Amino acid sequence: MSVSVENLSAEFSDELHQINRRNTRFVKIAEEEGFSQLAKFFRAILASATVRSKLILTGMIAHAEEDPNYFICPHCGLVFMLGAPDKCPVDETLGTLFERIS
């Protein structure tokens, strides 16, 4: 079976869309049950996930042809290529604590 990068990207995109749709259900439930602050929090998480999904999909095709190492902040999930920073710019986690994906 041969799968193209475009096919794999499309399937991944569908999966992310389904995850977002399922999570949207929690916003509705929180609103219906009177947890307006929690509903707002869920909407913020979904908005963040949507941005990340777009970045992932944009990067997926470009990264299919490259072979960099990735470094993931264990606290916020920020992804760096090639090397970890001295400190995470979001939460100042030391770069030595980043998870290396190679």
Give contact residues for Zn ion (rule: CB under 5 A).
Answer: 73, 75-76, 78, 88, 90-91, 93
Nearer to Zn ion by Cβ, of 60 and 78: the residue is 78
Q: How far is the CB of 71 from Zn ion (least distance, A)?
A: 11
Q: Which of 70, 100, 76, 101 has its CA nearest to residue 88? A: 76
In the complex, minimum distance from the CB of residue 84 to Zn ion, in angstroms, rounded to a whole number: 10
* Token code pair at residue 99: 């998870």
Is the Cβ of residue 90 or residue 101 nearer to Zn ion in the bound state?
90
Cβ at position 61, least distance to Zn ion in Å? 26
Residue type, 40: K
- DSSP lists the bridge partners of residue 71 as 80, 100
In one letter, which amino acid is 55?
L
3-state secondary structure of 80: strand
Nearer to Zn ion, 35 or 80 (CB): 80
Other Cβ atoms less than 10 A from the Cβ of 66: the count is 8
Q: By C-beta, is 84 or 88 nearer to Zn ion?
A: 88
Residue 100 C-beta: closest distance to Zn ion, Å: 15
